[in-house]
Chains A and B, each alone.
Chain A
Amino acid sequence: MQSIPDTGSSTASGTAATAVAPEPEHAGRFGHDLEEVVVERLETLAEGVRRLTLRTLDGSEFARWEPGSHIDLVLPDHVRQYSLCSPLADRSRIQVSVLHTRDSRGGSEYVHRSLAEGDVIRINGPRNNFPFVDSRKYLFIAGGIGITPILPMIEAAEAAGREWRLAYGGRSRASMAFADELIERYGERILLFPEDEVGRIDLEGLLALPRAKMLVYACGPEPLLRVIEDYCMGWPPGVLHTERFVAASLDAGASAEPFEVELTQTGKTVTVAPDQTILEAVEEHGVRVLSSCRGGICGTCETHVVSGEVEHRDAILSEDEKRFGDCMMVCVSRAAAGCPKLVLDL
């Protein structure tokens, strides 16, 4: 890792590079390849939460990204995914916020103890497994650091004039990043649940009665998401969108590499890019797959796996079924790290 003193003067050349891009909305930096960025600022936002502000080495803008996106931080010996949580409109910088976890496998430990302002690190992405779908109303639920992907969603919902509320829970007020500024900005639409003061998020009050035309976006620890999923079984199918931040995907890994899927019925072999789902990739090649929610919830796109190791990201299969590995939801699940090819019955 290299540290550079000042790169502020290189802004102009970056602008020139983006000006010739054929599609302005895709202009700017970010690609499938690793990119070096500089850590412009490190701030402690709350107990154990550090925000990283990143900019490109040449000062050029990052490409437009959608709420729910995350990037890989490529740290020494670790690749970790963190949700982008900076203002959508400001493409000069991107921000991620990292919780220092006690059982850290090294990623957050490194960010909290070793990383310094001015360091150059590599990132990859962004990718979006948590896409923000248009709806008239939203209920956002965040547990702890799960607030991060929700922030750009709130910004987008607010900009579109949608009705929304956020229920945000954490151990204590001091541990809850962004809580004060959210309250200040949005007032009553923010329901704060610092556990040491008021107890856990009132999921019964929020979810027991299904609401029409409302999507539920939730990010937080696994036990919280499990309870939310159970409540949402009484809601219309497909309303719940979740992002798991301690899922297996962050362990074995969301391979940042492209992988291949061989399709036995159609005889095609299709490459799935890191920012693409299998479903998108095979559809691009004219292969039809029945799908509905495209978010790992409904089970419509369940596909038989002939061979290969799957990283399951759906909310349908049980742990046993995931281990057994004979089927997968191609709308969200991918090849496991180290598995370059899946063979699917498509």
Chain B
Amino acid sequence: MTVTMSPTSVVSLPDDPFTIENISNPYPLHEKLREAGPVVWLEKHGCYAVTRYEWVYEILTDFESYCSSGGLGPKDIRKEAEWRPPSILESDPPTHTVMRRGLAGVISPSTMRRLREQFAPFAEELAEEVARRGDVDGIVDIAERYPLKVFPDAVGLRPDGRENLLPYGSMVFNAFGADNDIRAAAFQEGERVAAWVMDSCERENLTETGLGADIWTVADEGRIEPQQATLLVRALLSAGVDTTIFGIGNTLYNLAKYPEQWEKLKAKPQLAKFAVDEALRVESPFQMFHRTSTVDTEIGGVHIPADSKILLFMGAANRDPRKWGEDADVFDLDRNASGHVAFGMGLHQCVGQPIARTEIELMLQALATRVDRIELTGEVTPWIHNVLRGFARMPLRLVPNS
């Protein structure tokens, strides 16, 4: 039941974005929330929900009024400790500032040129293999394999134990959503996995060259503390795997769903970078997280008290017709997707986005030059995850060029 109060009061709804139904297909609820108002009170979770582009953008970019140190999950971790030491994502200036400046030279255009060279051969190899096989699973055989190989190599992670990366990412991101059964399942092996990851981020466990070693060099220069180096390497490992997997999977899904768009890409493989951004917009891997208000504030005329938890829906903002037009739900390579908030916006905007973009683009280009048609041969299985949007299974037929 919808309870609409006076115009300055908040619309209150009983909906739960973290049910299996809403996770499997989030878009009907997104539309309902967007149309209900600039901000909605979610009764079940006792937090505000913001889904319109204008306000998601405003909150992301006003890091003074809406802080990150309250945590990206439902708890206010300034008052109640979280399961792990706060990451750069869960920090505000000046703590954030020191770490962010430390990363500036680590991920730079020259890093990217080097990584592109490193990343390209495996994209070609993998595309060759799956194009030959034809019937593949878009997730297991492509989306998971590619980043799981190239990214930990780029960081300089030891080869053994990499199977811990996915469970770790699952914990990190699930904790940004409700404290429910989905989260609990992700945490089954929590302690062991978290310990392995923290240990792997220590300098002696990283290769001598790589992004991890580069971060430790920043610590050697005295620009960040050693424990911050550990946290930054950890941030790369937690933020750079799952999201990229879903980024590749979601891009393939949309290209399979819209064959005419695949035709466009095939005709001009250099459009791959636009396909990546449009897919990130329409099927954003990182759908939701929380911010915490630091002061009494207002969202679209609704008073928000200080210390309120606000759940931001990047996935809904990226399909807001007010911003993207009436066909906002449609995947279209000709659309200008710039300004989407799939990587966040402002101070905490994803620092690894050039890496993610490059990975997805290379994989896509390698496929576009080899595969004539890409077809879904069965139902996709959504990945049940509190805040990440993607698929667990995606049966695909890749018809190679004749």
A-side residues, CB < 8 A to B, are: 208-213, 230-231, 233-237, 265, 288, 290-292, 299, 302, 316-318, 321, 327
Contacts and interface: CB of A to CB of B under 8 A. Distances in A.
A316 B277 CA distance: 22
B347 A233 contact: no
Contacts of B354: 299
Interface string B48-64: 00000000000001111
B109 A211 contact: no
A117 to B, nearest CB: 48
Contacts of A231: 101
B109 A302 contact: yes
B97 A208 contact: yes
7 contacts: A208-B94, A208-B97, A209-B97, A234-B101, A236-B63, A302-B109, A327-B113
Nearest to B349: A237
Given A234-B98, A299-B354, A318-B110, A210 B104 contact: no
B274 A290 contact: yes
A212 B60 CA distance: 10
B161 interface: no
A327 B113 CA distance: 10
A233 B277 contact: no
A299 B116 CA distance: 15
Given A212-B64, A237-B346, A327-B113, 8 more contacts: A210-B93, A210-B97, A233-B100, A233-B101, A233-B104, A299-B112, A299-B354, A327-B109
Given A212-B61, A212-B347, A302-B109, A291 B338 contact: yes
A234 B100 contact: yes
Nearest to A346: B270
Contacts of A288: 271, 274
Contacts of A321: 109-110
Contacts of B93: 209-210, 234
A209 B94 CA distance: 6
A318 B105 CA distance: 11
Contacts of B61: 212-213, 236
Contact of B347 (A210, A230, A318): A210
A212 B62 contact: yes
B232 to A, nearest CB: 14
A235 B62 CA distance: 12
B203 interface: no
Contact of A290 (B65, B104, B277, B346): B277
Interface string B92-118: 011011101100100011101100000
Nearest to B338: A292
Contact of B270 (A208, A211, A265, A316): A265
Nearest to A314: B109
Contacts of A290: 273-274, 277, 338
A42 to B, nearest CB: 44
Nearest to B270: A265
A292 B345 CA distance: 12
Contacts of B104: 230, 233
Nearest to A317: B109
Contact of A212 (B65, B94, B271, B273): B65
B357 to A, nearest CB: 9
Contacts of B109: 299, 302, 316-317, 321, 327
Closest 6 pairs between A and B when the two form their complex, measured CB to CB:
A234-B97, A233-B104, A212-B64, A236-B346, A234-B101, A236-B347
A327 B100 CA distance: 26
A232 to B, nearest CB: 9
A212 B100 CA distance: 15
B395 to A, nearest CB: 31
A76 B96 CA distance: 52
Contact of A236 (B65, B112, B349): B349
Nearest to A320: B110
A209 B63 CA distance: 12
A292 B108 CA distance: 15
Interface in B262-281: 268, 270-271, 273-274, 277
A328 to B, nearest CB: 11
B126 to A, nearest CB: 24
A234 B65 contact: no
A316 B110 CA distance: 9
B329 to A, nearest CB: 22
Contacts of B273: 290
A316 B111 CA distance: 12
Contacts of B338: 290-292
A71 B223 CA distance: 41
B401 to A, nearest CB: 20
Given A209-B94, A235-B347, A230 B110 contact: no
B121 to A, nearest CB: 19
Given A299-B109, A316-B109, A230 B101 contact: yes
